[in-house]
Structure 1
Amino acid sequence: MPETNRIEYKRELSTDVDIEKEVIAFLNYHEGGAIYIGISEAGRIIGVEDADGDMLKIKDRVKNNLAPSAMGLFDVVTEEREGKNVIKIIVASGREKPYFKKKFGMTEKGCYIRVGTAAEPMPQPIIEKLFATRTRDSIGKIRSNRQDLTFEQLRIYYEEKSKPLNKQFKKNLELLTEEGTLNYAAYLLADENNVSIKVAKYKGVNRIDLIENNEYGYCSLIKATKSVLDKIELENRTATQITSKERIDRRLWNPVALREAVINSIVHNDFTREVPPKFEIFSDRIEITSAGSLPEGLSEEEFFEGVSIPRNRELMRVYRDLELVEQLGSGVPRILGSYGKECFRFMENFIRMTFPASKEVTPQVTPQVTPQVTPQVRRLLTVFKGEHNRQELQDMLGLSDRKNFRTNYLNPAIEAEFVKLVDPNSPKSRSQRYVLTELGERIRNIG
């Protein structure tokens, strides 16, 4: 594949390669782009010898040499091409243009823009025009109405990922305004706030008969997000179709697409309007509504092609740190892999995603018999309070023997379908977490 307006190749990372210039050009470009290290200009795969080392250098250079901050606007990942490691730098279009090299400031030596397949100096008139229209109402620039915020929940989530927060975390995570006060991003991520996300459930196909109205919030947005994901996962039950030849089980909604939709609606919600995203479950569909239209400069066509302009880069950075988001621009393509463009509706002030439920047929009738539950498994079910990793469950049970815990508690609960893996595709992952199934909830409530 040749270089394009959105793809740049570099044979290697060296002092002669001005990686800052290339990143700035894509930040200032309305579509963003990708830079590959280890591929020649002609498209020949060269590979890199020290991928991990080069990735650290790239992150350090972009973090320290660019302004405004590009954190939350770029990803650095590795890909295997023809058996060789290649580094890919994914850059989103920024909302605080113009971006520039700190060393040269907002001058033609510091600002660049993508023109065709090259990064060209940005003319001074364009620099001044972009600066005059720069977005100033982002959650990172709005001062929190509370300055007595605490972040214990956020500390716990970072420690779970072996990324403990240091004393400078508020500055490092950009939770401070330019004046040094806590900003609205900090308010959203704090232990206490006034933000609540609603998950409503209706009996029919309209909003007349409300049967559940759950609220998750007044806490760190990360905790609220995980609670919403747990609730939606419980609602995404398995529909069964019985034919003359086989029994077909399928979820009401594609779990991968649904998870991406939930995360996207929260991370890209326009919180400056003080309107949180809303989740509504009907008998035939689920609707997810987030505040804010498409970011300025992003067309629907570009949106569907995966072009990313993060509305809340501070949140995006934290969600990526905590592995709730994999990489920039991956959410919409994953949703489109299961649902068509018609599932999106763009309104003047909102974006709504509507996912129809898979066709439900008469399920196989099984007698309601309470399964036999061992004392160990029953003890395990009683300690669940959402998602937990193995060590948390052991600690809550007061068990030190990992083998005993897995053999007599966890594995039997999973086999009986009382407990399920949050990430079933990586059953042996060190970061694996577990949650009760609907059956597990019912058994626990029976007592």
Structure 2
Amino acid sequence: MNALILPGENKYVEFKADYTKTLLKTVSAFANYHDGIILIGIDDNRQLVGVKNADQMRLNLENTINDAIDPRPYYEIAVETHEGKDVILIRVYKGENTPYLYDKKAYKRLDTSSVPVDRSAFEELILYGKNLTFEMMKSQDQDLSFSVLNRQLKKRLNLRNITEDLLITLELKVKDQYNNAAALLSDNNPIKYSTLQLIAYNGTGVSEIKDRQTLTNQSILQHFDEGIDFYHKHINQSEIIEGAYRETRAAVPLVAYREALANLIVHRDYSKNTESRIEIFADRIEIISPGGLPIGINEEEYLSGRISVPRNRIIADIFLRLHIIEKLATGIRRIKEYYQNYPVEPVFRIYENSISVMLPNVDKKSQGDLLKNKYMDQLTLNEQKIVQLLKKNDIMTRREIEQELDLRKSQTNEILNQLKAYHLLIQVGSGRSTAYKLRAFN
């Protein structure tokens, strides 16, 4: 029980001092997106207050959840005694029959709150409940050609011209109808929201654009090729002498960029009314992909790079066959591995409606600039507050920072870990004496 209480509320755990109908929103949210726990008898300050008549409340909760949530979710309710007080623990499991509605609305977790989903997310839940995705839906345009895909299949797999049977095998045609995956791979790609913007800036800010390409109405296979060409056009290469050997090194590792580009194309949400972007700066590349995490994977699983829940399984399978991606669930790990020998690291940011990847330059001058400035204008408000606090106090413990800024322990740890990943902080000491200070720059 303490393991659940001490970290405080988060996306997966909610506290209630007593039963209120608002917890039904959280039941809907957990059933729609991920497993979660509701503890009744714990207040917002993590204080154990307990509940009275726990067995009767448990029975009432079962009846209420069964009547109020449609369809009925899968959950378990237990009564546990802690320090002489009863606490009700509700474990809600992610369901397959989404959307799970409370009062005709579907909910999701936003940090420690449960909020109604927007129209786009509601439609995604409907498709998920039918075991469908956007790429599997019938294409509005059935007059499609595949010369780009045909060339790639010949080049990579030594196959002859595309046949009807091959299109069916690749799952691009079902019951004589092309789906959206076929449309995205077709020569004139009619999918409205599949545009990719390639932008190169002068310097480290966005005030001056030196080159821009808008890729639209073309196969997403061309998006990959032209994204690689844009990289070669704007990323410098230099020769480094290592011992007796001369080595050519790119400012941003091509292999890391290639993985990030492929991830963008394969995993982005093509139903979102927004464009994907690749932005090249003097000290970094930023890749912005529309759509948050797909249903069925959480942030920790995504960042560990060990579990893959492809939003576009058909497209992922074709990119795998064409050897554009090597293996599902390895992209994030491979990107990280390519930066192992450098003092800078890639940064992954996960938002509600997008995912971004920042690939920093690895040449020494850019490393210094990057580590010194570290995009202060792009840090979150709490990240900026911690940096300013450490400028004033030189060295502080996690608890001191937490109390000064009125943050939860889990929040503070997450922010400190992110700032360490940015190489802005140095960790001093260990255990209870662990403290943090700003990195000194030359």
Question: What is the TM-score of this pair, normalised by structure 1?
Answer: 0.48
Point out the structure with the larger helix share: 2
